[in-house]
Amino acid sequence: MDLIRQLTRREAGGWDRLANDNKEQSWDLSAGLRGVWADRFDWELSVGRSRYTVDAYIRTVDTARATDYFLGSSLGTAADGTPIHAINQARVYTPLSPDQYDALVAKSHNSAYSWVNQASFSVSGDVVQGWSGPIRFATVAEVPKQGYQLSPDPCANESYPVDVVDSGGGERMRSSAGLEFRIPLLSTLSANVAGRYDRYGNYRSSAAIPTDVGTQSDTTWSAGLEWRPVESLLVRSTVVTSFRAPDMHYVLGEPSSTNQTVIDQSRCISSGAYLIGGCNDENNSIFYTVDVNRRGTPDLRSETGRSFAGGVVWDIAQGLSLSLDYYRIQLDEMIKDLDCDEILSAEAGCRTGTTISGGTWNTPGGAGYCETITSRVLRNADCTIASIERGPINLAQMETSGIDAAPKYRLATAGWGNFQLSLDYNNLIAYREQIYRIDSDENRRDERVRSRVRGSVHWDNGGAWDWTVYFRRIGSMRAVNWGTCERFDDGYQPSASDACLVTDTANVHLGETSKRYFGRAGPAIYCNLSAG
């Protein structure tokens, strides 16, 4: 028998006694010098230190005290190891007083902090007089050292459940240098070129475990052109390369574990329960608690990227302007942090070729992807899950392209104040993602939100009051069960692989066909009003 006893707001003595608390503190100290060198170059030297601290207090139930109160002392164990208790039904069904509630609960305390020490030096000015104007330059050198520490409650998931527990800490050093030039080519045409070098290294873990992260370094560059054929029109384009080292916790995280209740999707599909909608928390054979482990991935590779953007900015009339840009971004070795639901869904698809909704599973990767996913799920001899290994992986490649449009209008009136209207629109043209280089790179645009609109209307009269109305619209996307077969009235769902035709001779719907489901989720619209 599974016994669940929920503690209510009245038993606790109010919502404030159920709430979790976060206390945050941050500070930033900096100092610097600036001056002019040789009467033509501006220079600046700065040093600084910043620190951020957070303490999270989570209200939870002490497992031992709650078990003793509601179930009483253990009378031994059954043959299968299940504890035996003489349940005190009066305590189970009688509401607690606030004092009794206080005796059963605990407040878990997790703390974390991060810090950065940084020194930088920059120089800028005119290098030489060019044929169409002065050629300007700017250079910068930076040497920051950063660190962090996550300190979870030592009793978390031992004396009381708090779900996710992350621990780890360490530090690393970054050294960077960059140089940029702005070169006027014609009276209406100018170019910007820049280069930068970044190096991350000197990793040190705060734990007494060896961590061989090594170093990550790369040189990136950018180039752009700006052409203004007339005063009211600007045509622009840029080509940029990028580099980003993994987040520190992705490589320095200490081994940590928690208990999490999950739906064993692979087992549900294999048992056939998915055909009658049985892949839910009411099916105890596939809904149970497992160990979820997580640790740093020292061999995680850095992300690199290339992007292109081109467009126009047009001042159409007094107060009215429009910008229109096309962009294309490609990332290599993109880092993605896999969660439990994603791992279990992918594992079920890799093993069965089916989703729990009855559709055909479309793998985002090839055989190598499935090998990676299935290795993260450890199963017992009876095929139940023993543990799940969470953590980040490198995707082979991600590519996206789209269009951004942003009209803006300003209107000043003599008696009604000042109005400002702005609109930002994005349309996704393509989205491709590969886990491994051998995987297909088909356009998955229809599987994502394809359009987003954000806008605002602002009014003020130069006095103490102003009003702003914000709105946001997120476009629709395919629903979760898109492409699957609709269920019959009794809940039975045919397999999508059989063209929604029931072929099971023991089924009452033998020979019947249901329709395919091509529903969409969304769009979603949000509005907000602020006044001050």
Give the pLDDT of residue 326: 98
Residue 325: band (very low, low, confident or very high) from pLDDT cuts 50, 70, 90: very high
Q: Look at phi and psi of residue 104 and say left if phi exceeds 0, alpha if psi is from -120 to 50, else beta.
A: alpha
d(Cα 364, Cα 438) in Å, to the nearest integer?
11
Q: Which residues pair with 377 in a beta bridge?
A: 388
Q: For residue 371, what are the CA distances in angstroms to 368, 398, 439?
A: 5, 20, 14
pLDDT band at 371 (very low <50, low <70, confident <90, very high): confident
118 CB-near residues (< 8 Å, 6+ apart): 47, 48, 49, 142, 143, 144, 145
Calculate Rg over the CA atoms of the chain.
Answer: 30
| 3-state SS class at 297 | coil
Instruction: Encode burial over 189-217: b for 16+ CB neighbours within 10 A, e otherwise.
Output: ebebebebebbbeebebbeeeebebeebe
Domain that holds residue 373: 163-174+185-190+204-395
CA distance 349 to 359: 10
178: its two tokens: 């960059």
Is residue 438 very low, low, confident or very high in pLDDT (cuts 50, 70, 90)? low
Nearest in space to 485 (alpha carbons), one of 476, 493, 477:
493
Residues 390 and 407 both lie in one domain: no
> Any idea what DSSP says for residue 285?
T
Would you tell me how many other CB atoms lie within 10 Å of the CB of residue 273? 17
Same domain? For 343 and 416 the reply is: no
Residue 157: pLDDT band with limits 50, 70, 90: low
Phi/psi of residue 420, each to 5°? -140, 125
Q: Is residue 298 located within the same domain as residue 280?
A: yes
SS3 252: helix
pLDDT tens string 93-149 = 888 888 888 888 888 888 999 999 999 999 999 999 988 899 999 999 999 999 999
C-alpha separations of 322 from 151, 315, 408 in Å: 50, 7, 6
Residue 32 lies in a domain: no
373 lies in the same domain as 423: no
The sign of the dihedral angle between the CA atoms of 11, 13, 14, 17 is negative
Q: Read off the pLDDT of each residue in 330-348 and give the average, rounded to a whole number.
A: 89
Mean pLDDT value of segment 436-446: 76
Mean pLDDT of all residues in 68-83: 79
CA 359 centroid distance within chain: 26
Mean confidence (pLDDT) of the chain: 88
**pLDDT surpasses 60 at 1:** no
Is the whole-model pTM more than 0.85?
no
Residue 267 phi/psi, 5° resolution? -70, -35
- Residue 375's contacts (CB-CB under 8 Å, 6 or more residues apart) are 389
Residues 353 and 410 in one domain: no
Q: Is pLDDT above 90 for 18?
A: no
End-to-end alpha carbon distance in the chain: 57
pLDDT for the residue 90: 82
Q: Kindly report which listed range (225-239, 279-293, 320-334, 361-375) carries the lowest average pLDDT score.
A: 361-375
Which of 395, 428, 449 is the endpoint of a domain? 395
Average pLDDT score over residue span 64-79: 81
151, containing H or E segment = strand 133-151
Number of domain units in the chain: 2
Whether the predicted pLDDT of 354 surpasses 90: no
Burial (0-12, 13-18, 19+ Cβ within 10 Å), 349 = buried
Same domain, 273 and 216: yes
* Residue 12 within any structural domain of the chain: no
In this structure, what token pair is assigned to residue 7?
A: 């503690």
* Both tokens assigned to 53: 């601290």
Q: What is the pLDDT of residues 242-279, one digit of tens each?
A: 999 999 999 998 888 877 889 999 999 988 888 777 78
489-513 pLDDT per residue, tens:
887 878 766 678 888 777 888 888 8
For residue 420, what pLDDT is reported? 95
- Let me know if residue 502 belongs to a domain: no
Domain boundary residue, one of 347, 377, 395: 395
User: Per the domain annotation, does 255 fall within a domain?
Assistant: yes
- Say if residue 367's pLDDT is above 70: no
Instruction: Give, for 68, the enclosing helix (H) or strand (E).
Output: helix 63-71
Continuous segment of H or E residues that includes residue 392: strand 385-394
Taking residues 24-45, report their average pLDDT: 95
Which of residues 493 and 333 earns the better pLDDT score?
333
Assess if residue 469 is contained within a domain: yes
Range ranked top by mean pLDDT from 8-12, 64-68, 344-348: 344-348
- Please state, for a pLDDT cut of 70, what percent of the chain lies above it: 95
Residues 28-37: tens digit of each pLDDT: 999 999 999 9
One domain, residues 405 and 362: no
pLDDT in tens, 48-60: 999 999 998 888 8
Give yes or no: residues 333 and 433 share one domain.
Answer: no
Q: Quick one: 249 and 378 in the same domain?
A: yes
Q: Cis before residue 523, ω within 30 degrees of 0?
A: yes
Cα separation, 299 vs 320, whole angstroms = 51
Mean pLDDT of 434-462: 84
| Domain co-membership, 380 together with 421 | no
Residue 64 scores a pLDDT above 70: yes
Structure tokens at 379: 């199963």
Q: In this structure, are 471 and 328 located in the same domain?
A: no
Q: How far apart are CA 122 and CA 142, in angstroms?
A: 9
Dihedral pair phi/psi, residue 12, rounded to 5°: -75, -25
Q: Please list the residues that pair with 405 across neighbouring strands.
A: 324, 425
Name the domain boundary from 395, 425, 458. Answer: 395
pLDDT at 368: 73
The pLDDT of residue 160: 62
The verdict on 377 and 390 lying in the same domain is yes
Q: Which of 57, 18, 260 is nearest to 161 (CA)?
A: 260
CA 450, distance to chain mean position in Å, is 18
